[in-house]
Amino acid sequence: MTVQAGLRLTAVAYRADHKLLLQGITVDVHAGACLGILGPNGAGKSTLLRLLAGVLPPSAGQVLLDGQALQCWPARARARRLALVPQRTELTFPLRAREVVLLGRTPYVGRWQQESREDVRVAEEAMALTDTTHLAEQAVTTLSGGELQRVVIARALAQQPAFLLLDEPTASLDLRHQLEISSLLSTLRRRGVTIVLATHDLNLALALCSTVLLLQQGRIVAVGPPAAVLTPQRVRAVFAVDVCLAHHPVTGMPYLIPVPLRADDGFPSFTLPDEEDHYGTRDDSSEP
């Protein structure tokens, strides 16, 4: 029997420090799909992503990769199938950006061997895709947060994974690079890479994902096509924010516009100081 390629979670739960962080998670990530994991802070998004990557073992249930329990995969074989881009990466040793990206080739390089020309070519292509070629000779300890994030994404791409898992991939990027990473993920999906991303950006999920999974307090609220899951009513229920659904005037894609919070929503109100208090002086030409 042929096993369909993909990731599957079956009745997965995760407990840490006697606290149940996730429970009853069942979802299929089919090959070639783009799954968005959404939810408010503390909902369990990053934990779920780490379970999918094999960084954390489930407390109950199973995580399957291509029909086989994830923990049964040898580390090198798993690294050729799965690549994880964490939300934060701490690199304290001053490796050059090129060297960090080449670390993504580790699953393909034998012990005591050096990288081949093919390894170098793949790494250079990954840097070109993430607009980091000009950073190649810089020490990663000197890079900005956004630059480092793109280098780490390049390292993951150098693994040539079938499944790319990203935790808040655009959170520390400027507007241009947010758009470029979004475009890159769309391109990778067209090339057959399966993408799973945890994000707070509901509009990124609407534009990019084929399926979204909405979490609240460690449980699935809804899963399905983005437009069907991210309704104004459900966003209000989960995030306690009102949104308006609109369509982009250029692309025609749906997007959500948040309605400003009011004091009666439990949001504190602020009174700005008057001009004299704020600046220390007041220019009033009517006074002598």
- pLDDT on residue 110: 77
Q: What is the dihedral of CA 238, 165, 171, 186, to 10 degrees?
A: -100
- pLDDT on residue 145: 84
Residue 10, SS3?
A: strand
- pLDDT on residue 16: 92
Taking the C-alpha atoms of residue 235 and residue 7, their distance in angstroms, rounded to an integer, is 27
Give the tokens for residue 142: 């000197």
Cα-to-chain-centroid distance, residue 50: 11
pLDDT at position 254 over 70: yes
- pLDDT on residue 252: 87
Q: Is residue 4 very low, low, confident or very high in pLDDT (cuts 50, 70, 90)?
A: low
Taking the C-alpha atoms of residue 38 and residue 27, their distance in angstroms, rounded to an integer, is 14
pLDDT at position 2 over 80: no
- pLDDT on residue 98: 96
Q: Is residue 146 very low, low, confident or very high in pLDDT (cuts 50, 70, 90)?
A: confident
pLDDT at position 274 over 80: no
- pLDDT on residue 90: 78
CATH number of 6-73+162-279: 3.40.50.300
pLDDT at position 277 over 50: no
Widest Cα–Cα separation across the chain: 94
- pLDDT on residue 261: 76
Give me the mean pLDDT over the 144-165 stretch: 92
Q: What is the pLDDT of residues 212-247, one digit of tens each?
A: 999 999 999 999 999 999 999 999 999 999 999 998
The mean pLDDT value of the chain amounts to 88
Q: Is residue 281 very low, low, confident or very high in pLDDT (cuts 50, 70, 90)?
A: very low
Domains of the chain, by residue range, sit at 6-73+162-279, 91-160
Q: What is the pLDDT of residues 120-138, one digit of tens each?
A: 999 999 999 999 999 999 9
- pLDDT on residue 248: 87
- pLDDT on residue 268: 55
Residues with Cβ within 8 Å of 222's Cβ and at least 6 positions away in sequence, in order, are 213, 214, 229, 234
Taking the C-alpha atoms of residue 149 and residue 155, their distance in angstroms, rounded to an integer, is 10
- pLDDT on residue 264: 62
Of the candidates 60, 1, 51, the one whose C-alpha atom is nearest the C-alpha of residue 29 is: 51
Give the tokens for residue 220: 């699935």
